[in-house]
Amino acid sequence: MSSVWPDGKRCAVCFTFDLDAEYVFMGNMPEVADMPRVISQGDYVWRAGIIPRILDLLDEHRIKSTWFVVAMNAVNHHEEVAEIVKRGHDVATHGWVHEKITDLSKEGETERLLKCVQAIEDATGYRPVGNRTAGGELSPNTLDILAENGFIYDSSLRGSDTPYTLPNGLVEVPSYYEMDDFHIFADYPFGNYKARMLSPETGYEIWTNAFDGYYRYGLCWTSMFHPQIIGKPGNIMLLERTINYMKRFPESGSPTPGW
Ligand SMILES: [Zn+2]
C-alpha cells in the first residue's frame, strides 16, 4: 500500500485552532455577556498575547496551520487576526458569534456566511475558502451553501480518518473529538457544560497515541484546539511536546495495511 500524500509522506497532520474567545458560549447563551468572569476567559486570549504565543511556537517548528475564526473576533481584533495571515497561516469561517445555524432559512444562512467571509477578508485581506460550523449541528443546507459560494473545504464532520470528497465536490477534512482540547482541559462550570480538568499527561497520551495510529495507517491527524485552552502556559508546553513526539518519526514511507 503506497502513501496517498505528496512526495511519499507517510501521513498528514493538520494543526487547526478554533478562535472562539468569549463567543464559545455567548453565541448561544447571550446571558454570558453579563458574566464578567466567563467573559474574561475570552479576554485572556487578547490580553495575554495567546495568538503570538502559539504562532511563535508554530514558527519555531516551521508549521503552517488553519484558524477557524469567529467573525466578530475579526471585527473586534483585526490586527491580531491579520497577524495570523501575515505569518502564512490559513483563516476560515466559524460563525458570526459562534451561533447555532439550524434555525436559519437557506437565504438567511447564506447571508450570514457571506457576512463572516467579508468580515474576515476585511480584517486580513484574505478571502476564506474553508469552514468549520460552530455552535452545534450543520443545517441541511450548510454544505451546499459552502459549495455554492466558492468554498473548497469544510471541517465540521467526523466521517473518516482522512479527508474525503462530498457529493457536491466540497472536500471534508474531518475533525475529531479526541483532538479537542476543550474536552480534556476546559472547566466551565455553568449551563449544561460538564466541567473537567484532566492531567496534561492525559492529553499527551490521547494525542500521541492517536498519532501512532494515524501514522501507522497513513491517515490525517487533525487537531481542534482552542487558543484559550492550548495557549495556557502549561498547555503550550504540552503542544510542543506533542509536536516533538511527532517529529521523531520518519516523514516518508509506506503505511502498514489495515486489518
Ligand atoms: Zn468553536
Q: How much distance in Å is there from the Cα of 98 to the middle of ligand 1? A: 6
Q: How much distance in Å is there from the Cα of 225 to the middle of ligand 1? A: 9
Instruction: Give the pLDDT confidence score for residue 189 in this predicted structure.
Output: 59
Q: How much distance in Å is there from the Cα of 235 to the middle of ligand 1? A: 18
Instruction: Give the pLDDT confidence score for residue 254 in this predicted structure.
Output: 80
Instruction: Give the pLDDT confidence score for residue 139 in this predicted structure.
Output: 97
What is the C-alpha separation between 245 and 211, in angstroms, rounded?
Answer: 9
Spans of all domains in the chain:
6-176+215-223
Instruction: Give the pLDDT confidence score for residue 259 in this predicted structure.
Output: 44
Q: How much distance in Å is there from the Cα of 134 to the middle of ligand 1? A: 5
- Alpha-helical runs (H) found in the chain: 23-26, 36-47, 50-60, 71-76, 78-86, 106-124, 142-148, 181-185, 200-217, 227-230, 233-247
Q: How much distance in Å is there from the Cα of 73 to the middle of ligand 1? A: 12
pLDDT (tens digit, 0 to 9) for every residue of the chain, 259 residues total?
677 899 999 999 999 999 999 898 888 888 888 989 888 989 999 999 999 999 999 999 999 999 999 999 999 999 999 999 999 999 999 999 999 999 999 999 999 999 999 999 999 999 999 999 998 899 999 999 999 999 999 999 999 999 999 999 999 999 999 999 988 988 665 666 666 788 999 999 999 999 999 999 999 999 999 999 999 999 999 999 999 999 999 998 888 765 4
| Listed residue (87, 71, 55, 82) closest to 19, CA to CA | 71
Q: Which CATH architecture has domain 6-176+215-223?
A: Alpha-Beta Barrel (3.20)
Q: How much distance in Å is there from the Cα of 135 to the middle of ligand 1? A: 7
Task: Quote the pTM value.
Answer: 0.95
